[in-house]
Amino acid sequence: MKKLMIILIVLIFSSCMLMIILIVLIFSSCMSESEKQQKKLQAFSDSLKIALQVDSIMKVDEKNWNFDTIGVANGPVQIILAKPVQREYSTYKNVFLKYKNVSDKDIEGIKFKWYGETVFGDPADLGGYPEGFGGGYTDDLLKKGNTSSGTWDALSRNCKKIILAWPTEVVFTDGTKWKSK
């Protein structure tokens, strides 16, 4: 008896679905060509709006993810100065950093990240992804308490200022590592 009921329910459901499909086909065939085109354009426009919203949300999340500086304030390296500098014999700019080892250990290597903007406040082209971000490293020995500096190729055409620079990873001479969280 249960099997018969299930079969009956499936048949009723199937016939309802078939009727719905027939109704949709009848109504769509009654639409003029311009109405059909308008419906298609509206559907395309709606999907484009959704795609643009998702894209902008992803860009905000990406930017926030790249600004991951948790733990940097208590880190072993302090950035003293970060600025774009003009390349010699070129219109491009590089990134200059001055930094200090504030830990009680000697440092063997440091990875940096930076974020820069144009004169209009837009993200600058600094060679990183997403736009506005860049990075570099040094493997020069930095004794505890000492200050050093360096210039990294960014080949930026439009960087006006470096908003933020920070160390992302530090390797000490004893083999231990520090990373921003």
Q: What is the pLDDT of residues 24-75, one digit of tens each?
A: 556 666 666 777 677 666 665 555 555 555 555 445 444 454 555 556 788 8
Sheet with 161-172, edge to edge strand ranges: 133-138, 107-117, 161-172, 177-179
Is the pLDDT at 137 greater than 90, yes or no?
yes
Residue 158 CB burial class (10 angstroms; 0-12, 13-18, ≥19): middle
The predicted pLDDT at position 128 comes to 76
Give CA torsion, residues 82, 86, 88, 92, to 10 deg.
110
Q: What is the pLDDT of residues 6-27, one digit of tens each?
A: 555 555 555 555 566 656 556 6
Determine the Cα–Cα distance for residues 162 and 134; give it in Å rounded to an integer. Answer: 10
Integer distance in angstroms from the first to the last C-alpha of the chain? 64
Three-state DSSP state, 175: coil
E strand intervals along 48-132: 77-86, 93-101, 107-117
Give the predicted TM-score (pTM) of the model. Answer: 0.63
Q: What is the percent of the chain with per-residue pLDDT over 70, rounded to a whole number?
A: 63
Determine the Cα–Cα distance for residues 40 and 58; give it in Å rounded to an integer. Answer: 27
Paired with 90 in beta bridges are: none
